[in-house]
Amino acid sequence: MNTTPEDAKRPARDTDRLRVGYGEDAHRLEAGRALVIGGVAVPNSAVGAAAVSDGDVLLHALADALLSAFAQGDIGVLFPPDDPASRGLSSSVIVATALERIRKQSGAVEVINVSAVVTLDQPRLAPLRDQIVAQVGRLLAVEPDRVGITFKTSEGLALGHVQARVVVLVT
Ligand code: C5P
Ligand code: MG
Protein backbone atom coordinates (compact mmCIF):
# COMPACT_ATOMS: atom_id res chain seq x y z
CA MET A 1 0.00 0.00 0.00
CA ASN A 2 1.27 3.50 -0.82
CA THR A 3 1.78 5.70 2.21
CA THR A 4 2.40 9.43 2.36
CA PRO A 5 4.63 11.20 4.93
CA GLU A 6 1.37 12.36 6.57
CA ASP A 7 0.23 8.71 6.94
CA ALA A 8 3.49 7.81 8.68
CA LYS A 9 2.68 10.28 11.48
CA ARG A 10 -0.72 8.73 12.20
CA PRO A 11 -1.17 6.03 14.82
CA ALA A 12 -2.14 2.59 13.51
CA ARG A 13 -5.91 2.11 13.50
CA ASP A 14 -7.78 -0.69 15.16
CA THR A 15 -9.46 -2.11 12.06
CA ASP A 16 -12.08 -3.91 14.19
CA ARG A 17 -13.48 -0.47 14.94
CA LEU A 18 -13.81 0.56 11.30
CA ARG A 19 -17.37 0.94 10.06
CA VAL A 20 -18.73 1.83 6.66
CA GLY A 21 -22.03 3.65 6.19
CA TYR A 22 -24.10 4.21 3.06
CA GLY A 23 -26.96 6.62 2.51
CA GLU A 24 -28.98 8.00 -0.36
CA ASP A 25 -31.66 10.62 -0.85
CA ALA A 26 -33.71 12.18 -3.64
CA HIS A 27 -35.95 15.21 -3.87
CA ARG A 28 -38.22 16.54 -6.58
CA LEU A 29 -37.18 19.86 -8.08
CA GLU A 30 -39.65 22.74 -8.23
CA ALA A 31 -39.49 26.30 -9.51
CA GLY A 32 -39.21 29.05 -6.94
CA ARG A 33 -37.31 27.10 -4.27
CA ALA A 34 -33.72 27.45 -3.11
CA LEU A 35 -31.33 24.67 -4.15
CA VAL A 36 -28.99 23.74 -1.28
CA ILE A 37 -26.30 21.09 -1.77
CA GLY A 38 -23.90 20.17 1.01
CA GLY A 39 -24.91 23.24 2.98
CA VAL A 40 -24.10 25.55 0.04
CA ALA A 41 -26.87 27.59 -1.63
CA VAL A 42 -26.53 27.11 -5.40
CA PRO A 43 -26.77 30.55 -7.01
CA ASN A 44 -29.01 31.20 -10.00
CA SER A 45 -30.80 27.85 -10.00
CA ALA A 46 -34.23 28.01 -11.64
CA VAL A 47 -35.36 25.15 -9.39
CA GLY A 48 -34.86 23.86 -5.86
CA ALA A 49 -35.78 20.79 -3.83
CA ALA A 50 -39.37 20.36 -2.72
CA ALA A 51 -39.06 19.40 0.95
CA VAL A 52 -40.22 20.22 4.47
CA SER A 53 -36.57 20.88 5.41
CA ASP A 54 -34.11 22.74 3.16
CA GLY A 55 -34.09 19.60 0.94
CA ASP A 56 -30.32 19.20 0.98
CA VAL A 57 -30.00 15.71 -0.51
CA LEU A 58 -26.26 15.51 0.08
CA LEU A 59 -26.52 16.22 3.82
CA HIS A 60 -29.58 13.98 4.21
CA ALA A 61 -27.73 11.08 2.56
CA LEU A 62 -24.66 11.86 4.68
CA ALA A 63 -26.67 11.82 7.93
CA ASP A 64 -28.26 8.51 6.93
CA ALA A 65 -24.83 7.07 6.08
CA LEU A 66 -23.48 8.06 9.52
CA LEU A 67 -26.47 6.53 11.32
CA SER A 68 -26.32 3.42 9.15
CA ALA A 69 -22.65 2.86 9.99
CA PHE A 70 -23.73 2.38 13.61
CA ALA A 71 -27.03 0.62 12.85
CA GLN A 72 -28.96 3.58 14.28
CA GLY A 73 -31.80 3.60 11.76
CA ASP A 74 -32.21 6.73 9.63
CA ILE A 75 -32.95 10.42 10.02
CA GLY A 76 -36.68 9.74 10.30
CA VAL A 77 -35.90 8.29 13.74
CA LEU A 78 -34.29 11.57 14.85
CA PHE A 79 -36.72 13.84 13.01
CA PRO A 80 -40.08 12.18 12.33
CA PRO A 81 -41.39 13.69 9.05
CA ASP A 82 -44.85 14.27 10.58
CA ASP A 83 -43.43 16.10 13.62
CA PRO A 84 -43.91 19.89 13.20
CA ALA A 85 -40.45 20.35 14.81
CA SER A 86 -38.93 18.71 11.70
CA ARG A 87 -40.21 21.52 9.44
CA GLY A 88 -37.73 24.00 8.00
CA LEU A 89 -34.80 22.24 9.70
CA SER A 90 -31.33 23.14 8.53
CA SER A 91 -29.69 19.99 7.22
CA SER A 92 -26.47 20.97 9.00
CA VAL A 93 -28.42 20.45 12.23
CA ILE A 94 -29.54 17.02 10.97
CA VAL A 95 -25.91 15.98 10.36
CA ALA A 96 -24.79 17.38 13.74
CA THR A 97 -27.61 15.49 15.49
CA ALA A 98 -26.70 12.24 13.68
CA LEU A 99 -23.08 12.67 14.81
CA GLU A 100 -24.24 13.32 18.37
CA ARG A 101 -26.40 10.17 18.30
CA ILE A 102 -23.60 7.88 17.10
CA ARG A 103 -21.13 9.46 19.54
CA LYS A 104 -23.54 8.80 22.37
CA GLN A 105 -23.80 5.18 21.29
CA SER A 106 -20.19 4.46 20.38
CA GLY A 107 -18.05 7.02 22.17
CA ALA A 108 -15.53 9.01 20.18
CA VAL A 109 -16.36 8.72 16.51
CA GLU A 110 -13.94 9.94 13.87
CA VAL A 111 -14.79 10.19 10.19
CA ILE A 112 -11.96 8.83 8.07
CA ASN A 113 -13.33 9.81 4.67
CA VAL A 114 -16.48 10.53 2.73
CA SER A 115 -17.24 9.67 -0.88
CA ALA A 116 -20.39 11.08 -2.46
CA VAL A 117 -22.17 11.34 -5.81
CA VAL A 118 -24.74 14.05 -6.54
CA THR A 119 -26.89 13.49 -9.62
CA LEU A 120 -28.44 16.61 -11.13
CA ASP A 121 -28.92 17.67 -14.72
CA GLN A 122 -28.95 21.45 -14.22
CA PRO A 123 -27.28 23.68 -13.07
CA ARG A 124 -23.61 22.74 -13.17
CA LEU A 125 -22.22 22.15 -9.70
CA ALA A 126 -18.53 21.64 -10.46
CA PRO A 127 -17.75 25.37 -9.91
CA LEU A 128 -19.08 24.94 -6.33
CA ARG A 129 -17.15 21.75 -5.55
CA ASP A 130 -14.49 23.40 -3.35
CA GLN A 131 -17.13 25.26 -1.35
CA ILE A 132 -19.26 22.13 -0.87
CA VAL A 133 -16.22 20.02 0.08
CA ALA A 134 -15.12 22.67 2.60
CA GLN A 135 -18.58 22.85 4.16
CA VAL A 136 -18.95 19.04 4.45
CA GLY A 137 -15.41 18.85 5.87
CA ARG A 138 -16.30 21.46 8.49
CA LEU A 139 -19.46 19.61 9.52
CA LEU A 140 -17.52 16.36 9.97
CA ALA A 141 -14.28 17.87 11.30
CA VAL A 142 -12.23 16.31 8.49
CA GLU A 143 -9.77 17.86 6.05
CA PRO A 144 -11.03 18.59 2.52
CA ASP A 145 -8.72 15.89 1.10
CA ARG A 146 -10.99 13.36 2.85
CA VAL A 147 -14.19 14.54 1.17
CA GLY A 148 -14.64 13.27 -2.40
CA ILE A 149 -17.67 14.64 -4.24
CA THR A 150 -18.63 13.62 -7.76
CA PHE A 151 -21.28 15.42 -9.81
CA LYS A 152 -23.16 13.53 -12.50
CA THR A 153 -25.98 14.39 -14.85
CA SER A 154 -28.68 11.75 -15.26
CA GLU A 155 -28.44 12.19 -19.05
CA GLY A 156 -32.06 13.30 -18.86
CA LEU A 157 -33.22 10.08 -17.14
CA ALA A 158 -34.03 11.82 -13.85
CA LEU A 159 -34.97 15.30 -15.02
CA GLY A 160 -36.85 17.03 -12.25
CA HIS A 161 -34.94 15.28 -9.48
CA VAL A 162 -31.80 15.81 -7.47
CA GLN A 163 -30.23 12.74 -5.88
CA ALA A 164 -27.26 11.95 -3.66
CA ARG A 165 -25.45 8.80 -2.65
CA VAL A 166 -22.87 8.83 0.13
CA VAL A 167 -20.39 6.38 1.62
CA VAL A 168 -18.56 7.18 4.86
CA LEU A 169 -15.78 5.32 6.62
CA VAL A 170 -15.75 5.92 10.35
CA THR A 171 -13.94 4.68 13.41
O1 C5P B 1 -22.81 13.18 -15.91
P2 C5P B 1 -21.70 13.57 -16.79
O3 C5P B 1 -20.65 12.48 -16.87
O4 C5P B 1 -22.16 14.01 -18.12
O5 C5P B 1 -20.98 14.82 -16.11
C6 C5P B 1 -19.93 15.43 -16.79
C7 C5P B 1 -19.25 16.51 -15.95
O8 C5P B 1 -20.17 17.50 -15.60
C9 C5P B 1 -18.62 16.01 -14.68
O10 C5P B 1 -17.26 16.40 -14.71
C11 C5P B 1 -19.33 16.73 -13.57
O12 C5P B 1 -18.45 17.20 -12.59
C13 C5P B 1 -20.01 17.88 -14.25
N14 C5P B 1 -21.35 18.14 -13.70
C15 C5P B 1 -21.59 19.34 -13.04
N16 C5P B 1 -22.81 19.62 -12.55
C17 C5P B 1 -23.83 18.74 -12.67
C18 C5P B 1 -23.61 17.50 -13.30
C19 C5P B 1 -22.35 17.23 -13.82
O20 C5P B 1 -20.70 20.18 -12.93
N21 C5P B 1 -25.02 19.08 -12.20
MG1 MG C 1 -34.10 14.57 1.94
For 24-141, where are the alpha helices, taking DSSP H only? 57-69, 75-78, 91-106, 129-140
Q: Once rounded to an integer, what is the mean pLDDT over residues 16-21?
A: 92
CA atoms within 13 A on the CB side of 114: 34
Residue 1 has pLDDT above 60, yes or no: no
Q: Note the pLDDT tens digit of each residue in 79-134.
A: 988 888 888 788 999 999 999 999 999 888 999 999 999 999 999 999 999 999 99
In the predicted model, is pLDDT for residue 161 greater than 80? yes
Residue 161 beta carbon below 6 angstroms from any ligand 1 atom: no
Question: Could you tell me if the CB of 125 is within 6 A of ligand 1?
Answer: yes
Output the CA–CA distances (angstroms, integers) from residue 133 to 1, 39, 112, 114, in the order listed: 26, 10, 14, 10
pTM of the model: 0.92
Among protein residues, the one whose CA lies closest to atom 19 of ligand 1: 152
H or E element at residue 8: helix 5-9
Whether the pLDDT of residue 10 is over 90: the answer is no
Q: How far is the CA of 19 from the centre of ligand 2 (A)?
A: 23
Q: Is the CB of 152 under 6 A from ligand 1?
A: yes
CA dihedral of 77, 85, 108, 118, whole degrees rounded to 10: 70
Separate counts of helices (H) and strands (E) for the chain: 5, 7
Which of 152, 155, 159, 163 is the best mutation target for the ligand 1 pocket, counting ligand atoms within 8 Å of the beta carbon and taking the most?
A: 152
Segment 43-82, tens digit of pLDDT: 989 999 998 888 999 999 999 999 999 999 999 999 988 8
pLDDT, average across residues 32-49: 95
pLDDT > 70? residue 164: yes
Measured distance CA(63)–CA(83) in Å, rounded: 18
pLDDT at 142: 98
Stronger pLDDT, 4 or 1, i.e. the higher one:
4
Reported as a pLDDT band with limits 50, 70 and 90, residue 2 is low
Atom 4 (ligand 1) nearest CA: 153
Cα of 28 to ligand 1 centre, how many Å? 19
Short-list 68, 164, 144, 148, CA closest to 115: 148
